[in-house]
Structure formats: C-alpha cells, structure tokens
Amino acid sequence: VAADAVVTLAGRQLPAAAPRYFMLNKPDGYVCATRDRHHSTVLDLLDEDNRDTLHIAGRLDIDTTGLVLLTDDGNWSHRVTAPRHDCDKTYWLQTAEPIPASAVSQFEGGLFLHSEKTRLRPAYLEILDTHTARLRISEGKYHQVKRMFGAIGNAVTRLHRERVGAIELDPGLGEGEYRALTVTEITSV
C-alpha cells in the first residue's frame, strides 16, 4: 500500500500506520505489563486498536502512580529507558519517617544499594517537608526509589512519577486517563 493511499474498511477510513505515543496517568493497583493473570494492566485502561502492540517505556510498580509512557516505537522507547541517554525521571514521594537533611548529599554522592556492586548515579533530592520530597534520578533500577530510601533507613509510603525527561504528566488527566503525546513531547526525547 502506498504511503499516501486512502484505505477504507466497511466505509470507514483507516488511519495510516504510524508510530503511536501516549501518556497515561497510572492509578494504584495496575501493573505495567502487557499481560498479567492476576492484576489489571495499564493496557486495560486504553481504548485503542491493536493495543497489544504497545509497550511501556519505563515501568512503575503496582502501588506507584503517575506518568507512564506507551509506544510502539522501539527506538523511541529505548531512548526513554536506557541510562546512557540520561532521560531523567522525577518523582514526588512520601516517607514513613522524617527525611534527614543529610539525604540530599547522600543521594547526590550516589548510594550503594543492597546486593549491587556499583554505586548509583547521582540523584537530586528536594525535601518539601518532613515526610515529602521530590526526587530526580537518571536510572531505573528495580524498585530504585524505594531501595534508595531503604538504604538510609526509611520507607517510601507513596510514590508518584511526575516527569520523564521533558515530558510532564498532564495535570488535566485524571487517574486512569490518557492522551496522545504532542509532537513537541515526542521530539523532546
């Protein structure tokens, strides 16, 4: 089929095949997976054709909320998730215990996580009040934010991703809602 051809099915014009890019405001209780036998997945929240061809560019834990990016463009997804591309992720978080001021310099210096042989890249912590903070990281290790706070003797009780690179979660999206990314958002990666 020629790239400029108009294709119809049952009288309805079909969109041309092109990569798709979405942002989703992930609610608590959904897993970032294409299929799961025990839990609802973030793909279940999408009303899109061929949603099984989409994949998650940067997963969140089942109890973490906020910005999830979905695409069927593998190269773009790799630029979002690969640490060498320095695509920072920013989180708002709440902790069980007060956050010590010393955590700022500890995170900037790069922590060692339990069972890891290399130091984490520097992370930037902004303490908002005694139990809440904003954290920017450039990696995405398994349960990284929770493990970072565990390494300093604290526990994360709420975690919400606000931003990936220059893409900020649209404040107009309610939990479970999504929208297509703008051209500016797509090209920012």
76 is written with which tokens? 């773009």
| 61 a catalytic residue | yes
In the set 61, 72, 73, 170, the catalytic residue is 61
- Token pair for 163: 């931003």
Neighbour-count burial of 186, counting CB atoms closer than 10 A to its CB (0-12 exposed, 13-18 middle, 19+ buried): middle
Rounded to whole angstroms, the Cα distance separating 188 from 25 reads 19
Question: Using the 8-state DSSP alphabet, how is residue 31 labeled?
Answer: B
**Across the chain, which distance is largest between two alpha carbons, in Å?**
65
Two structure tokens written together for 105: 């310099």
Helix, strand, coil tally for the chain in percent (to 5): 20, 30, 50
d(CA 4, CA 2): 5
Which residues are designated catalytic?
A: 61
